[in-house]
Structure 1
């Protein structure tokens, strides 16, 4: 009304119609002057596109061949399989792909159907959209690794012999978790637990080299390789070899007490010579517990002047702290917190037998309080036959070097209670020689689990999973109430079980159907 009073007229726009040049029905004008039905009858934009494709499927590992030699693992109706199917189509670049989806088929039919929606510019710039179905026929053929396993499970091309000459397997427990997290041994056809190490068998030399390279990035190693001629075809000049990689891990482990050789002491700026190993990765972290000086040794530096531990963690003795006097404030050294302190300690085993007390200096002043228990090395009674000690003149050994706070007394109260978390393990065959040491291995594995609870730095590079077998009431967030270290719930991962998840989804769909009825 206001527009009419002002003398302005608003004209509503209308879209005119034209007659189709083929069938004569009214339609909205377009560049071809034909309706959609006539346009589709005249032009088929899917002409020349593949409607039937043959794909190679391995029934053992459920993977598909991506020519020429790559095998892709994919579940039915997964995004990975849909991408694989679309990429197998030729001449698809002539049209524009708008949408792709699976059409349900019987799982045993060896057929996969994919519905594609495409667009293409046709007569006089008109854009036509059309849908069509592509049928993929599965031809069953085992991949190279599966056929090799089926023919002879022991038929390997490359073997990696991983060894560490120490009297325990703590390093291999940790390496196992690193290998699982990064999938480093996914290509292994067999894994065998051996004395002082593990053997990994691969179907190709490249997989063995890749695994050796991974081990060298997470721990200081030295390796050598050998090959043995298996067969030779003189006509085609082809040689078949079996490759063996011998990988030795340095014998220095976390919490070891070390007496450095004079040459290493000089190269590290007169560190030590009595130091403790705080961390082993691709380098060795060495800490002087009396001065809090820290130095790192990489693999090349270590193997150039290799040395062994003075005392290992198996010789740790439990002490009780009688008094602590802090000498310095808490400092961060190499990602760990330390504080120098003078302390009075006594062996727990001496209670009721003697009054021997040691006045020592320790780097654990920020953790220890009078009445606490600690694990350390008893150098007062230790029989040291290390040749490196004789090379250092006028070296005075301390009576005791403490390594870490002990929670064993508090754990006794909760012995037998389950943990809220668990670890996965590699599918390993056990050598017959190692079956008798199962009790020793179980105790070492239990100590490894305790180390994970006490050291967040160790947990950073591995995956811990929630244990569904235990009640939530037994799972605590930080500690178990008695100042005992435990794994926080936010660090745990859910252990996904696809079969259970599918069953739950089916149950949910059934409930929804009942509600609709």
Structure 2
């Protein structure tokens, strides 16, 4: 086989060091070319990053602050954006060089390319060192300093309960209206929302106007003024008052306003509260919507609220009227709950109840005939909550002016489930809270509402339990908030089923008196009988409101927290 030599490669000597090289336009070797030409010229070898130790964020000019983990892609991108002159070369590689975290130094290795002569591309590797400087971001500075808020929204409602603010808190969380809030403070009649900018306070005021009937007014206070530049520093206050009419309240409209609302009966129930009040006459099923501006021109208060509800037993229901949506007009016969129980059944309990509530004695065995809008859900034997008007005394001129024949003895409001409420059944759902802290874990989800010092904690617990019951019993109200799957059991407080109504107390035996030993057999029999009665009642109350699983959302924050706790336990 004949050997064929390859073409000869002509080499020349380097003009500086004399090393044989392949000819190029500069006639220089790579080492001499790097010594004569520096492609990193104009690129700084040192720079700095600003880091906030409170929120652990890096400054990203011009005004942004981002969260970046050590040696992450986000931090590398931030470092590359800080380099000047990098747009004049071609970046081929960049990575971190490990440094001690406590040294407050970051080292980045860069590989760049640049064409230095005709058809001659030079590649070079170099390092840039970043000094991490500590500074406070504007958000942390506002939180650390005092009296730095620019605007405050003061939300008030003159009612003796907090259920409105509990519902309002859930609406704010669902729509994310709390993201610009610096802090929230509970006051006697409401909440205060603090903001760093006036526009954020205006946005919150507009949100409140869209979800509840309110009226608002604003004021400003001069803090400082510069006469040279003609600039001034103000603090703005927005006062928002919510109408003192809540769901299921009994109201008496002024005669002039009732005529304006399609001549509706003055004595009506408030069935729903949104940005307007929804009123319904349980005697005729006439409904009307009262807008917030109209209400504030002729304001009125509620005659009675949920704390005035009384339990009634339905004896007979006969639908005899029109149907409007979910309401069905019916004639009903009711009596006070427990009116026809035998004396031997619960003598001690009845005696205690009659001693506490003397006003119930006169009508204990009386049967009331009334018209109700609950004909679609009430059945004979059910328990309903209503207002007992024949034994009520209201301080209202409009109510006193009503003819006696137009005032019913009883106004039924909603169906009750006393037997199921007596059982401490665990709830499978829970609610989120604003500004929830570690100290609030024992409050069953309550956040900014219910933490005011000096308030009766028992009253706070009752308001929260009534709010949870309203969510269970009203699917329309439940659809306006976000419900989450509960990781732990959420116990239902045992009660009589009356939403704030009059309850009956039971006389308990004192073990120290020796009665437990002598009456242990009777107590066991009574317990078995009560359990049988409750099981029978559960079958009769098959329409007890249950929150379905498809209505619940996954609480990803709690799931992540639970995973971290499991990892810590394993370690």
Same fold (TM over 0.5): yes
Q: Does 1:365 align with 2:426?
A: no
2 CA distance for matches of 1:145 and 1:99? 35
Larger mean Cα displacement after TM superposition, 339-348 or 433-442:
433-442
The CA RMSD over aligned residues, in Å, is 4.6
Report the counterpart of residue 426 of structure 1 in structure 2.
Answer: 434
Report the counterpart of residue 476 of structure 2 in structure 1.
Answer: 457
2 CA distance for matches of 1:97 and 1:289? 77
1 CA distance for matches of 2:149 and 2:279? 40
Q: What is the CA distance between 1:177 and its match in structure 2? A: 1.5
1:339 alignment partner, SS class: strand
Q: Structure 1, residues 51-97: CA drift from partner, whole Å, max 9, x if none?
A: 98755443323444454434456667889878878887889999999
1 CA distance for matches of 2:126 and 2:567? 30
Report the counterpart of residue 146 of structure 1 in structure 2.
Answer: 140
Contact 1:466 1:495 in 2 (8 A): no
Q: What is the CA distance between 1:440 and its match in structure 2? A: 0.9
1:184 alignment partner, SS class: coil
Q: How many residue pairs get matched? A: 461
Q: With the length of structure 1 as denominator, give the TM-score of the two structures.
A: 0.73
Q: Does 1:167 align with 2:164?
A: no
Change (3 A) 1:322 1:419: same
Contact 1:421 1:492 in 2 (8 A): no
Q: Does 1:226 align with 2:219?
A: yes
Change (3 A) 1:148 1:267: same
2 CA distance for matches of 1:119 and 1:220? 66
Contact 2:386 2:413 in 1 (8 A): yes
2 CA distance for matches of 1:45 and 1:457? 69
2 CA distance for matches of 1:294 and 1:227? 41
Report the counterpart of residue 58 of structure 1 in structure 2.
Answer: 52
Q: How does 1:437-456 map to 2 (within 5 A)?
A: 437-456=456-475
Q: What is the CA distance between 1:165 and its match in structure 2? A: 0.5
2 CA distance for matches of 1:136 and 1:264? 72
Q: How does 1:27-66 map to 2 (within 5 A)?
A: 55-66=49-60
Alignment partner of 1:281 out of 274, 284, 288: 274
Q: Does 1:489 align with 2:489?
A: no
Q: How does 1:41-190 map to 2 (within 5 A)?
A: 55-72=49-66, 138-152=132-146, 154-190=147-183
1 CA distance for matches of 2:567 and 2:400? 70
Contact 2:163 2:467 in 1 (8 A): yes
1 CA distance for matches of 2:94 and 2:451? 54
Q: What is the CA distance between 1:134 and its match in structure 2? A: 9.2
2:288 alignment partner, SS class: strand
Q: Does 1:205 align with 2:215?
A: no
Q: With the length of structure 2 as denominator, give the TM-score of the two structures.
A: 0.67
Contact 1:262 1:392 in 2 (8 A): no
Q: Does 1:295 align with 2:288?
A: yes
Report the counterpart of residue 468 of structure 1 in structure 2.
Answer: 487
Gaps of at least 5 residues in structure 2 are: 1-10, 12-29, 115-123, 342-360, 436-446, 491-537
Q: What is the CA distance between 1:330 and its match in structure 2? A: 5.6
Change (3 A) 1:440 1:140: same
Q: What is the CA distance between 1:361 and its match in structure 2? A: 1.1
Contact 2:213 2:242 in 1 (8 A): yes
2 CA distance for matches of 1:329 and 1:133? 84
Change (3 A) 1:98 1:306: farther
1 CA distance for matches of 2:125 and 2:272? 61
Report the counterpart of residue 231 of structure 2 in structure 1.
Answer: 238
Q: What is the CA distance between 1:166 and its match in structure 2? A: 0.8
Q: Which has the larger radius of gyration?
A: 2
Change (3 A) 1:105 1:197: farther
Contact 1:327 1:341 in 2 (8 A): yes
Alignment partner of 1:267 out of 250, 260, 263: 260
Gaps of at least 5 residues in structure 1 are: 1-21, 23-37, 121-129, 472-479, 511-517
